[in-house]
Amino acid sequence: MLCLQPGIAVEREQCCQLLWPGKFTAHARASLRQILLGLKQQLAPIHADFLEITRDRVRVNADAVRSDLDELEQALRQAPEASASKLLLAIGGKPLLDKLDLGESFRQWLEIQRAQADQRLQRAVEAAVADCQRRGDRAAAGQLRDAWRLHGSAAALSGAGRRIRIAVLPFQAEGSNEQETSIAQGLFDELITTLGQVPELLVAGRTSSQNARKLARRLPRIAQALNVSYLLDGSIHCQAESVRVHVSLIDGLSGFELWSQSHQGTLADVFTLQTEIAHEVTRELSQVLQFEVHQPEQRTTTPSLAAYELYMQGRALTMRAIGDGVLARAVELLEQSLEIDPGFAAGWTALAEAHVYTAVYTPCLDRVAQSKKMAECALKAIELDPEQGHARAMLGIHRWTENDPVGALDLAHEAYRLEPDNPDVVLRLGSFLLYIGRTREALPYIEAAIDMDPVNGRNYAMLSVAQLNLGNLDEAIAAGQRMVDLGLPAMWLAVATAAAGDHKLAMELYRQTRLLMNTVIFPPAGTKPLPGPALRVYWQVAARGVCSGRKVHRKVYCALLDHLHATLPDPCDTSIVAPAIWMGYPEMVFKTLGRQITPANMFCLMSLWADIEPIRQTRLHPEFLPFAERIGLVAAWDKYGWPDLLANPDTQSVKP
């Protein structure tokens, strides 16, 4: 407390009130005297006059103490911009005096100190940036702006760690009829959404919670995998027109039940029952976990039970994503739901998601057409309910297909403002920043999405690439391995392993991807699956080309990519784009992504920003900047900051 403002005296009475709020005044003063005496003795070897104590006040000798905050403020005043940028990045989003909780008075005082520090820093950064611009040093100004932007992003995300972490497990339907399953899924969805609006809670993402029971049989193991302190579990039983719901709050560490309650209702008022249960659970949580809660507002849904049941069935299939005809059936069910209730905003968002999943996870030939359908549905959802943040995030995907990454990022930032606790929204913002090369800024969002949704394997691809781009090979390999453990392809793990120098292991990992053919990954759109021997040969050529580190193997695979580009129905298929980037084949990158970005191949953009051979060859190619201009990247850089590995050509040349 004293070191926040060295040399500035603090009233002893204020210290007593903040540090010992529950004690009588005389006891608090005695405690303060004892503490000050102990501190003075311990600090004397460092500086004889470290503390300056009078009857009424106490302060720290300004010459005796240094702090990271003080060093940063001095660096900004003295105008060594590189030093200030480095200090800003080192501090990141760490809150001032983190992990101290001494009661409400202290919390209020601390919030004021944090706000004042942020205001001082913002004014100092703005003044330093203006000074750089006056001197014509645009590079230094850009570095400071970027560091401050990263500081703000990390600070906004760091608050999640101080909230109570809870996961809702899918409710178990005691019967096997479709209606009971839909109601159970609906209650699961309603609880996640309602509890997610409580500021004191951080609720695990739907994808991880949906798969929770596959992780382990024992509840403490599930809580550990989901990184939560509490679990909300329950069951549902329907008999004729009556519905009985049982809900339990489980301690994640012990697996013991802390609270349970049963609710009765009828099928006719199932929506009212869901809302009542969600609010009752919220009230009970506030009592059991001892925090004050403000009940969230009731969300607008559909008054039609039939429309809601079709919606829940369609959403369940969309979450599965992989499987013959799964997404086509999801689209069909959601369209039927919206025929019954065209004003159901969440239904339009769900249909948008089903269309974009169709474009990404099925071998369809009309990926851009699916993206257009997705955009139409997302716009309809936003028109009906402007608070539909996820719809904005998906609409951003379509902006990429139109070579408008500025629009995509604008939508992603707005989506995050509306739904900062939706891991899909958080990851989308992080991934968009990753696509434009802003890896350092993207990483906190990617990590936050994984923190909220830790059993969603797709998120780890983003994390693996981000760590690879930053040169953190061990972390990239660990994230890639986690992705594989969750049943997804090993290609990112193989690329990171090759970058670490183990080419033999990398080739074997890359070859393992063929085992997921026709289950998690599919042949290029419009083609038939290769027979066994041909499939093995193809993956052998691919593994050597990407991972062996030998030019001759890259040359062979690049020739195969030329053939695929000339013959495949979709010449911009991911199976061409991704290896072209990994092998440093810039001409193919320009011919594919430069021709058409789709929801399926757009994620390949994130791999452009690793500063390793041969990936860097695309970035260093003389045609890279014209290519970036054509697909809208330069406009995005001008607005959101230039990539970590690419300086604005108006200020300096490309980094080698």
Residue 190 has pLDDT above 60, yes or no: yes
Residues making up the chain, counted from first to last: 656
Other beta carbons within 10 angstroms of residue 24's beta carbon come to 9
- Contact between 238 and 175 under an 8 Å Cβ cutoff? The reply is yes
Q: Give me the pLDDT at residue 183, please.
A: 76
What's the CA gap between 626 and 620, in Å, rounded?
A: 12
Residue 336 has pLDDT above 70, yes or no: yes
Q: Are strands 164-168 and 201-203 parallel, antiparallel or unpaired?
A: parallel
Name the least confident of 172-181, 261-270, 369-378, 410-419. 172-181
| Domain segments of the chain as ranges | 2-60, 68-137, 163-288, 305-391, 421-640
- pLDDT more than 90, % of the chain: 39
Average pLDDT over residues 22-46: 85
Nearest CA to 397 out of 361, 418, 420, 372 is that of 372
Residue 622 has pLDDT above 60, yes or no: yes
- Contact between 604 and 574 under an 8 Å Cβ cutoff? The reply is yes
Residue 423 has pLDDT above 50, yes or no: yes
Q: Give me the pLDDT at residue 517, please.
A: 74
- Contact between 224 and 208 under an 8 Å Cβ cutoff? The reply is no
Average pLDDT over residues 367-386: 95
CB under 8 Å to 69, separation ≥6 — which residues? 4, 91, 96, 117
57, amino acid identity: R
- pLDDT band at residue 655 under the 50/70/90 scheme: very low
120, containing H or E segment:
helix 104-134
For residue 614, whether the previous peptide bond is cis, meaning omega lies within 30 degrees of 0, is yes
Better-scored residue on pLDDT, 102 or 380? 380
pLDDT in tens, 251-298: 887 888 888 888 888 877 777 777 777 778 777 777 776 666 665 565
- Contact between 579 and 542 under an 8 Å Cβ cutoff? The reply is yes
Does residue 487 come out as left (phi exceeding 0), alpha (psi in the -120 to 50 range) or beta? left
pLDDT in tens, 542-595: 999 999 999 999 999 999 999 999 999 999 999 999 999 999 999 999 999 999
Better-scored residue on pLDDT, 225 or 397? 397
Coil, helix or strand at residue 220: helix
CB under 8 Å to 652, separation ≥6 — which residues? 139
pTM of the shown model = 0.77
Packing angle of the helix pair 345-361, 326-340 (nearest 10 deg): 160
Q: Any idea which fold 421-640 has?
A: 1.25.40
Coil, helix or strand at residue 527: coil
Q: Give me the pLDDT at residue 656, please.
A: 39
153, containing H or E segment:
helix 138-158
Report how far Cα 3 is from the mean position of its chain's Cα atoms: 35
What's the CA gap between 452 and 636, in Å, rounded?
A: 28
CB under 8 Å to 129, separation ≥6 — which residues? 141, 144, 145
Better-scored residue on pLDDT, 313 or 160? 313
- Give me the helices (H) in 261-418, please: 270-288, 305-320, 326-340, 345-361, 367-384, 389-401, 405-418
What's the CA gap between 242 and 251, in Å, rounded?
A: 30
621, amino acid identity: H
Name the least confident of 153-162, 355-364, 611-620. 153-162
Nearest CA to 41 out of 29, 51, 31 is that of 51
- Contact between 261 and 247 under an 8 Å Cβ cutoff? The reply is yes
Q: What is the CATH number of domain 163-288?
A: 3.40.50.10070
pLDDT in tens, 489-540: 889 999 999 999 999 999 999 998 888 877 777 778 778 877 888 889 999 9
Average pLDDT of the chain, as a whole number:
85
Tell me which DSSP letter residue 521 carries. Answer: B
Q: Are strands 172-173 and 201-203 parallel, antiparallel or unpaired?
A: unpaired
What's the CA gap between 476 and 465, in Å, rounded?
A: 7
Q: Which two tokens stand for residue 355?
A: 């269309």
Coil, helix or strand at residue 637: helix
Tell me which DSSP letter residue 597 carries. Answer: -
Other beta carbons within 10 angstroms of residue 35's beta carbon come to 13
Q: Report the top-level CATH class of 305-391.
A: mainly alpha
- pLDDT more than 70, % of the chain: 90
Better-scored residue on pLDDT, 334 or 306? 334
Residue 20 has pLDDT above 90, yes or no: no
Tell me which DSSP letter residue 174 carries. Answer: S
What's the CA gap between 414 and 553, in Å, rounded?
A: 45
pLDDT in tens, 89-138: 666 666 777 767 777 777 777 777 777 777 777 777 777 777 777 777 77
Domain 305-391 and domain 421-640, same fold? Reply is: yes
